[in-house]
Every structure is written in C-alpha cells, then in structure tokens.
Structure 1
Amino acid sequence: MSMFKVFDISGSAVSAQSQRLNVVASNLANVDTVAGPDGSPYKARQVVFQTALMAAAGNVSAGRDDPTLTTSAGVRVSTITEDQTPGRKVLDPAHPQADGEGYVTYSNVNAVEEMVNMISSSRSYQNNLEVMNTAKSLLLKTIQLGQGS
C-alpha cells in the first residue's frame, strides 16, 4: 500500500466526521425546540456511514475485476436519517403550542446522547488528523534519508 493512500483514507474519514459534527451541532441547537417551520417538532438526525472503495490514483479501471487493481477503503456519509421516536411531551396548558390536553411536544433530541456523539466524532476527527501528520512526518524523513542528510 502506498503511503499516499493514507491521506485519502484519513481525508475521507475527516470529511465524514466533519459532516457528523455538523449534524450533532444542529441536533443540540434544536434540543428544546417545539415546532419547526412545518409546524411539527424537530426530529433528531443521525449520520449513516458507508465504506467507500477508492481505486489507486491514475487507474481508470476502478471497480472492474482486475487482479492488479489496488484499492483501499475509506468512509463516506451514505445518508442522514431522521429519528422517528416521538418527541417528549410536557404538560404546559399555557403554552401557545399546547395541544387539546395541554401537552407541548418538544423535539426528540437526547442531549446526553448527542454530547457522546460529539465527543466520539471529535476524537475520531483528531485521530485521523494525527494519522495524516504522522504519515507526512514519515514521508519527510524518507526524503531526508534519500538526500543523504
């Protein structure tokens, strides 16, 4: 495996985790919302990852049954799904969004779960950046060895 593939693999993970962090931020921003623009409560969103095969650079026959084809696997966001769990209901008859029984339906975002997702995503993002920095350092040291320094 070429050392340069490390940048593709880690780069795809950094990009995917960046999208996940944006979704988590959106969920946390809407943790206490009552109704969205369509009148229904905000639904938490979750990122679904998928393996992404990446062919060797310059190889046009990617995806074909070529035994000499070298591929590596990265990650990409396949979809962003909405959690269909019902939102939490709070009894507040004075609230303008209260239903006939006096309950207000809030978003179904679980703040604790989202904080765990944020920490996990942030650490994965940082780890992949560290992988790229380590690969860069190794490549620079290899060049220095080749120069005889």
Structure 2
Amino acid sequence: MSGAFEMLRVANTSLGAHQVWLDALAGNIANANTYVSTDEDAFQATYVVFNPREDGGVDVAGFAEGDAEGRMISMPDHPLADENGYVRAPDLDMSAQISQLVMAQRGYQSSVSVTKTAQDTYNAALAIGQGR
C-alpha cells in the first residue's frame, strides 16, 4: 500500500512543478510581442528552476529572469519607436518556448497518468481488504 502512496506523493510534486512551468511558459509566449520604448526594460521571460528531492519528487527551487536588455527591432511606424525607428522587444526564442511547452504538457500528462494508476492501485487494495 505504501507504494501507491509513494507514487501519489511523487506524482503530486511533479504535477505542481509542471503546472508552474506551464504557467511561466504561457506568460512568456503571451508577451513575446510586447514592445516598449528603447529607454525601458524589455519584458523579461520567466524560467523555472527545478530541484530534485531525495525522495524522488521535484520542487520548484525558484525562478530566473531573461535579459532586460532584450533586443532592438526596427519598427519605424510603431508609436513607441525612438528617433531612429527602434523599439525594444523581449529576447525570446519562440521555437524554444514552444518546445518547452510540449515537454511541460507531456510531463504534466504523465504525472496525471501516474496519479490515476496509483489511485487505481490503492482502490484495488481497498477492495481486496474489504473482501470484494
């Protein structure tokens, strides 16, 4: 029975960590086209830092931020463009963000599957214990 509880505990830490990762990626992707004037800091992407636990689970250890410098883009018609026609944009690699989004989604789905298996195992053990 403790095996099912262990699976549930580990899967729960994974579910939480993957949810935080998904939330961070969603914010990054939503702000990929956020432009500011060149005298402002660019949107800084959020990167989740994970820490493995000795018991097999995972914790969110913290967050790292992207570069506030961002990148300069020529957009002379943009209302925030400077006298040279530039705006500041986030320094985000969208293909990397989408790839990470797929990995985070699959990790979350795997954790849900493990949780369901652990619950089924627990319920089967209860049924055996009740003589069904």
Instruction: Look up the equivalent residue of 1:106 and give its one-letter code.
Output: A
In structure 2, the residue matched to 1:102 is 85
The 2-side partners of 1:92 and 1:147 are apart by: 71
The alignment partner of 2:81 has SS state of: coil
The 2-side partners of 1:148 and 1:109 are apart by: 58
Q: CA deviation at 1:8?
A: 1.3
In structure 2, the residue matched to 1:138 is 121
Q: CA deviation at 1:48?
A: 0.7
The 2-side partners of 1:41 and 1:83 are apart by: 9
> Cα deviation per residue 1:13-49 (whole Å; 9 max; x = unaligned)?
100111111101100110100129x932102111110
The alignment partner of 1:77 has SS state of: strand
In structure 1, the residue matched to 2:13 is 12
The 2-side partners of 1:147 and 1:81 are apart by: 50
Q: CA deviation at 1:97?
A: 2.4
Report the RMSD for the aligned CA atoms in angstroms.
Answer: 2.2
Tell me, yes or no, if structure 1 residue 2 matches structure 2 residue 14: no
Q: CA deviation at 1:86?
A: 4.6
Structure holding more helix per residue: 2
Tell me, yes or no, if structure 1 residue 23 matches structure 2 residue 24: yes
The alignment partner of 2:53 has SS state of: strand
In structure 1, the residue matched to 2:49 is 48
The alignment partner of 1:90 has SS state of: strand
Percent identity between the aligned chains? 29
Moved more, 81-90 or 116-125: 81-90
In structure 2, the residue matched to 1:114 is 97
Aligned length: 130
In structure 2, the residue matched to 1:148 is 131
TM-score, normalization by structure 2: 0.85
Instruction: Look up the equivalent residue of 2:67 and give its one-letter code.
Output: Q
Pair member with larger Rg: 1
The 1-side partners of 2:21 and 2:75 are apart by: 34
Instruction: Give 4+ residue runs of structure 1 displaced > 3 Å after superposition.
Output: none
Is this contact kept in 1: 2:43–2:68, CA < 8 A? Answer: no
